[in-house]
């Protein structure tokens, strides 16, 4: 742990230990929140359970988005593309050979005959996007601002077009069906917890701290000897790994796979979750995912129709309003609370603020 | 296509490229004065197209006026409600905001009119082909080319010869400095949005006439390629945007004509690959705008 590396003042051993504890509080609370959600959902009916699993799968993806975008402050539209690659990787590796013969008769022979255990397929679903990210990210990481946004958007389109037209490998625009749906509550919660832990570990490493320094002030960070493209690349690759795993979870949760699902709508949903929660902190990524999942679920309920206790009429909103409301929520947050629910702070930082104790000033407070 | 008649290819290139050029110009106008990459431009195009659809029984002139009006009003509304409060925010926040505005309008449209494509044919007289030097060329493509040339000419005149054009060019070069010498920020930005709305409507009209359908994601399709064009041409540079549009049109036509059949579905992937390459070797585009470099 290099947690105390962020603290500029000299640190005595006892102080150092308590600092580590304090910073780890964020991770512990976030993991506890995920565990609690999963435990509560375990008592609920099957429909609600599915919603919670979906929320946890989205959480993994949002954490993948956060690792790069949150820490670097550079927009990243490519996460959903990496999710798609992960999803297809896992599907192709874990589908029974007979199934592949039916849906994808033109697969190369070695791939058609291959069937690996789910956990190995899940891991590979992270590794393949990570390798691709390493390859394409190497040059792209020099870009910032609009350039990076357009470049990563281009990556998303390329992934979408290639996967959507590579008929022999992915079945093209059609659906890939019959994937084993092993992603239930325990798996989803465990992977979500793992993703949060990885993201937390990363942002406490020297790379994570250097990357966030470059987010606050690119020029000053470069002047301090931070090699920005390199630390960005590390985050980009790690983010792609997590996103790929999220994609695989998505595939094995739904049981069917369509390229169409991995496009701008999902990109917008994930980005909404991150921005609403506050893209500058891991706490924000988790809070935003939970909040938006709750809002979408409530809106879905009203589309089905709710009868308030004591009221004689059933409230029902027309279908499709939920999507409009989601975009509306996103807009309102950007306009009125651009740092999101969390204000860009981690939980331990919120506690310290509340306690009113003296602590290191955060860069965003200096500007405020 | 398969037909490699040079005149045919030239007409295709210019008519496709012209649409992209107009789209890129609409995006470039906003970017040059505000540093905003406006995703919501897509919805200006879509809504203008739906205005044409809604008035498809009426005389063509009415439909045209309505679609231009719709796009302009919508452009002004998005500026006032979403982008003006964010004027001092950083590029990333504005980009996310424009993504949200775009999604908001798109979902609202799907919510109100449904997501199914609807047929519309605003300019049926332009459908018949005519022969030029042995090539079959549709009147519509020629009309598209003429409309693009007219728009480019008018825009050039506006930017070069009128005072608001001068103000816009000054603001594009250095917004703060322009303000200091008396250019009004609001009037320049509003003018940019009005013009981009107008261009969006022209694009919508021509695109709908070419494809014969309206659907809620129509604008996204074309504006994404418009983005490619602005990036290749040089973000913030208007001649660059126009040139980028034609270049992308040429690339698309050539890829379609020259790629082997099995690679043709991946045509647009090649286009986006080229964008990445351009960004790598010329991060400010092929014809970079002056004054784009961020100051420290």
Task: Give the tens place of pLDDT for each residue, B118-129.
Answer: 988 777 767 677
Nearest by CB to B91, which of A143, A145, A158? A145
Per-residue pLDDT of A47-73, as tens digits, reads 899 999 999 999 999 999 999 999 999
Query: Cα A100 to chain center, whole Å?
Result: 29
Task: Please state, rounded to an integer, the average pLDDT across all residues of chain A.
Answer: 88
* Between residues B88 and B109, the one the model is more confident about: B109
The partner residue sitting opposite A154, judged by closest CB among B86, B99, B275, is B275
Chain B segment 200-229 residues within 8 A of A by beta carbon are 220, 224, 227-228
Task: Identify the domain containing residue A297 by its residue range.
Answer: 26-367
Say how many domains are in chain A.
Answer: 1
DSSP B120: -
Identify the bridge partners of residue A315 per DSSP, sorted by sequence position: A306
CA dihedral B135, B137, B141, B146 (to 10 degrees): 70
Q: What are phi and psi of B79, to 5 degrees?
A: -65, -50
**With contact defined as beta carbons under 8 Å apart, do A188 and A249 qualify?**
yes
Query: Shortest CB distance from A331 goes to which of B35, B101, B235?
Result: B101
Per-residue pLDDT band for B154 (boundaries 50, 70, 90) equals very high
Supply the pLDDT for residue A349.
Answer: 86
Residue A15 lies in a domain: no
Q: Does A318 touch chain B (CB under 8 A)?
A: yes
CB contact under 8 A, A75 and B95: yes
Render pLDDT for A287-346 as a digit per residue (tens, 0 to 9): 999 999 999 988 888 887 777 666 666 667 777 788 899 999 999 999 999 889 998 899
Chain B contact for A321 (CB, 8 A cutoff): yes
**Average pLDDT of span B160-182:** 90
Nearest Cβ partner for A150 among B97, B273, B279: B279
What pLDDT shows up at residue A301? 84
Q: How many residues does this entry show for chain A?
A: 368
Q: Confidence class of residue A201 from pLDDT cuts 50, 70 and 90?
A: very high
Averaged confidence pLDDT in chain B: 88
Q: Quick check: B168 and B39 in contact, CB under 8 A? A: no
Tell whether A14 is covered by a domain.
Answer: no
Kindly state whether residue A198 falls inside one of the protein's structural domains: yes
Contact A335, B85 (CB under 8 A): yes
Residue A3 lies in a domain: no
ipTM of the complex: 0.89
pLDDT higher than threshold 80 for residue B217? yes
Q: Are strands B118-119 and B213-214 parallel, antiparallel or unpaired?
A: antiparallel
- Lowest-confidence region among A39-53, A67-81, A139-153, A226-240: A139-153
Q: How far apart are the first and last CA of chain A?
A: 31
A140 touches chain B (CB under 8 A): yes
Q: What is the pLDDT of residue A107?
A: 80
In a domain, A294, yes or no: yes
Q: Which of B108, B228, B279 is nearest residue A147 as measured by Cβ atoms?
A: B279
CB within 8 Å: A150 and B231: yes
What tokens were used for B214? 């309206």
Name chain A contacts of B96, Cβ cutoff 8 Å: 75, 271, 275, 334
Reply yes or no on whether the pLDDT at A4 is more than 50. Answer: no
pLDDT of residue A362: 53
The reply to whether A299 falls in a domain is: yes
pLDDT of residue A39 exceeding 60, the answer is yes
Query: A-B interface: how many C-beta pairs under 8 angstroms?
Result: 111
Contacts of A299 in chain B (CB under 8 A): none
pLDDT band per the 50, 70, 90 thresholds, residue B91: confident
Residue from A140, A157, A265 whose CB has the most chain B CBs within 10 Å, to mutate: A157
Domain with residue A113: its CATH number is: 1.10.3470
Are A272 and B111 an interchain contact pair (Cβ–Cβ within 8 Å)? no
Residue-wise over B2-37: b if at least 16 C-beta within 10 A, else e? eeeeeebbebbbbbbbbbbbbbbbbbbbbbbbbbbb
Q: What is the pLDDT of residue A232?
A: 96
Of A74, A324, A335, the CB nearest to B82: A335
pLDDT in tens, B250-265: 988 888 888 888 888 8
Q: How confident is the model at residue B139 (pLDDT cuts 50, 70, 90)?
A: confident
| Alpha helices per DSSP H over A141-227 | 145-165, 167-170, 185-204, 206-216, 218-223
Asked if the structure places residue A21 within a domain, the reply is no
Chain B residue numbers with beta carbons less than 8 Å from the beta carbon of A216 are none
Helices vs strands, H then E, count in chain B:
11, 4
Task: Count Cβ atoms within 10 A of the Cβ of residue B211 and give its class: 0-12 exposed, 13-18 middle, 19 or more buried.
Answer: middle
Average pLDDT in the A82-95 region? 94
Mutate: best of B82, B88, B103, B228, partner A, most A CBs <10 A: B103
Residue A10 domain flag? no
Q: What is the pLDDT of residue B195?
A: 96
Is the Cα dihedral A238, A243, A246, A251 positive or negative? negative
pLDDT winner (highest mean) among A160-169, A244-253, A300-309, B58-67: A244-253
In DSSP terms, A192 is beta-bridged to none
Domains by residue range for chain B, with CATH: 6-281 (1.10.3470)
Phi-psi region of A164 (alpha: psi -120 to 50; beta: other; left: phi over 0): alpha
Confidence of residue B89 (pLDDT cuts 50, 70, 90): confident
What is the H or E stretch that residue A39 is in?
helix A13-43
Q: Is A327 on the interface with B (CB under 8 A)?
A: yes
């Amino acid at each position: 742990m290099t947690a105390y590396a962020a603290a500029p003042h000299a640190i005595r051993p006892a102080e150092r230990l308590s600092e580590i504890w304090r910073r780890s509080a964020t991770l512990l609370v976030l993991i506890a929140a995920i565990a609690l959600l999963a435990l509560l959902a375990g008592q609920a009916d099957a429909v609600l359970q599915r919603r919670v699993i979906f929320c946890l799968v989205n959480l993994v993806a949002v954490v993948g988005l956060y690792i790069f975008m949150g820490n670097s402050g550079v927009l990243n539209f490519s996460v959903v593309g990496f999710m798609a690659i992960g999803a297809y990787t896992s599907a192709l590796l874990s589908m029974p050979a007979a199934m592949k013969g039916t849906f994808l008769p033109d697969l190369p022979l070695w791939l058609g005959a291959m069937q690996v255990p789910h956990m190995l397929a899940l891991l590979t679903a992270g590794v393949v996007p990570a390798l691709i990210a390493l390859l394409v990210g190497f040059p792209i990481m020099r870009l910032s601002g609009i350039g990076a946004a357009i470049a990563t958007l281009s990556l998303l389109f390329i992934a979408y077009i290639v996967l959507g037209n590579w008929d022999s490998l992915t079945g093209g625009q059609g659906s890939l069906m019959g994937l084993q749906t092993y992603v239930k509550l325990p798996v989803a919660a465990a992977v979500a917890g793992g993703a949060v832990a990885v993201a937390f570990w990363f942002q406490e490493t020297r790379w994570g701290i250097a990357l966030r320094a470059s987010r606050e002030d690119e020029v000053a960070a470069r002047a301090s000897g931070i090699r920005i493209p390199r630390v960005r690349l590390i985050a980009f690759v790690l983010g792609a790994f997590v996103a790929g795993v999220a994609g695989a979870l998505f595939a094995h949760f739904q049981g069917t796979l369509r390229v169409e699902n991995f496009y701008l709508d999902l990109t917008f949903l994930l980005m909404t979750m991150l921005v609403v929660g506050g893209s500058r902190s891991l706490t924000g990524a988790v809070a935003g995912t939970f909040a938006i999942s709750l809002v979408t679920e409530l809106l879905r309920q009203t589309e089905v129709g709710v009868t308030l206790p004591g009221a004689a009429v059933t409230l029902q909103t027309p279908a499709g309003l939920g999507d409009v409301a989601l975009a509306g929520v996103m807009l309102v947050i950007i306009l009125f609370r651009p740092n999101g629910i969390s204000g860009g702070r981690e939980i331990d930082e919120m506690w310290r603020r509340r306690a009113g104790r003296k602590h290191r000033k955060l860069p965003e407070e200096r500007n405020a | 296509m398969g037909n490699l008649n040079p005149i045919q290819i030239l007409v295709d290139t210019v008519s496709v490229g012209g649409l992209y050029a107009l789209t890129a110009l609409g995006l470039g106008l906003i970017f040059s004065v505000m540093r905003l990459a406006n995703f919501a431009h897509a919805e200006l195009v879509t809504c203008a197209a739906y205005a044409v659809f809604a008035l498809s029984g009426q005389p063509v002139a009415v439909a045209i006026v309505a679609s231009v009006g719709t796009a302009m009003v919508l452009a002004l509304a998005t500026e006032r409600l979403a982008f003006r409060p964010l004027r001092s925010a950083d590029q990333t926040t504005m980009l996310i905001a424009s993504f949200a505005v775009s999604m908001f309008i798109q979902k609202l449209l799907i919510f109100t009119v449904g997501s199914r494509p609807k047929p519309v044919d605003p300019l049926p007289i332009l459908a018949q082909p005519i022969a030029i030097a042995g090539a079959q060329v549709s009147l519509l493509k020629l009309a598209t080319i003429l409309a693009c040339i007219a728009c480019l000419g008018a825009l050039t005149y506006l930017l070069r010869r009128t005072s608001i054009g001068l103000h816009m060019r000054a603001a594009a070069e250095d917004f703060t400095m322009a303000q200091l010498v008396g250019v009004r920020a609001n009037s320049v930005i509003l003018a940019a949005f009005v013009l981009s709305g107008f261009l969006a409507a022209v694009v919508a009209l021509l695109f709908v006439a070419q494809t014969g359908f309206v659907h809620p994601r129509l604008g996204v399709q074309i504006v994404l390629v418009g983005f490619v064009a602005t990036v290749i041409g040089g973000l913030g540079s208007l001649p660059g945007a126009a040139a980028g549009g034609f270049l992308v049109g040429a690339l698309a036509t050539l890829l379609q004509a020259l790629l082997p059949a099995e690679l043709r579905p991946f045509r647009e992937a090649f286009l986006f690959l080229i964008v990445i390459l351009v960004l790598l070797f010329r991060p400010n585009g092929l014809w970079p705008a002056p004054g784009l470099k961020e100051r420290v």
